[in-house]
Amino acid sequence: MFVNRVFMNKTPLIAAMLLIVVAVMFHMPNGAEQIISQAEAGKTTASVGGIKSAPLVTTHNKWRKSVGVPPLRWSSALARDAQAWAEVLSKKSCRMRHSKQQQHGENIFWASAQRWSDGRRETQNISGEAVVNNWASEVRDYNYKKNKCRLGRQCGHYTQVVARRTQKVGCGMAVCPDKGQMWVCRYDPPGNIAGHRPY
């Protein structure tokens, strides 16, 4: 498992953030799905997890534009599934675990609680933009020519964010009992196909 620690300087005590991703798949029942364009996402607040869809879509699309691939659209169905998995993880001591679904790509992000010197714990104020940028920062460890991560490094979060074949994204966030938080984004179709470059 790859561990990436990011440190927050809000208090003398340091809170660590961990992220992990694997492009895995999920079976969703057929049914109506609301697809929201980037322009519409800018006016919409996602109802699941209380997160805003606009920063998530916009930040994904900023990275996608940088490599010349089409923008993603927000999917309410993917967001519901992502939210459901974030809630499962949040109830299991906030432990990182990928779902067994096999239809969609999946990125997962975890952040610890903010700890104060008097012992209080609070949920950190982390934006969707910060979550996506953290995944995409793995670009520094991706070698496009060889289509591999740098030796000993992880880059699957980044390659899922910019995967050309992916058209839709939906995300959710849940707060853990210890005030940590779990973010999950689901992607359709999934990226990170073995033997294929993301773009």
Digits of tens for pLDDT over the chain (199 positions)? 333 333 333 333 333 333 333 333 333 333 344 444 444 444 444 445 689 999 999 999 999 999 999 999 999 999 999 999 999 999 977 887 888 888 999 999 999 888 888 888 888 889 999 999 999 999 999 999 999 999 999 999 999 999 999 999 999 999 999 999 999 999 999 999 999 999 9
Note the pLDDT of residue 13: 33
The answer for residues whose C-beta is within 8 angstroms of residue 78's C-beta and 6 or more apart is 104, 168, 169, 170, 171, 186, 187, 188
The answer for residues whose C-beta is within 8 angstroms of residue 189's C-beta and 6 or more apart is 104, 105, 165, 166, 167
Matching residue, tokens 């869809």: 53
Q: Strand ranges (DSSP E) for 40-194?
A: 73-75, 105-111, 114-115, 121-122, 142-143, 148-149, 168-175, 181-188
Q: If you count them, how many residues does the chain have?
A: 199
Helix or strand run (H / E) with residue 21: strand 16-22
Note the pLDDT of residue 49: 66
Q: For residue 180, what are its two tokens?
A: 């940590």
How far apart, in whole angstroms, are the C-alpha atoms of residue 79 and residue 187? Answer: 10
Matching residue, tokens 């809630």: 87
Amino acid type, 100: K
Let me know the angle formed at the C-alpha of 33 by 103 and 158, rounded to the nearest 5 degrees: 45
Q: For residue 165, what are its two tokens?
A: 């074949």
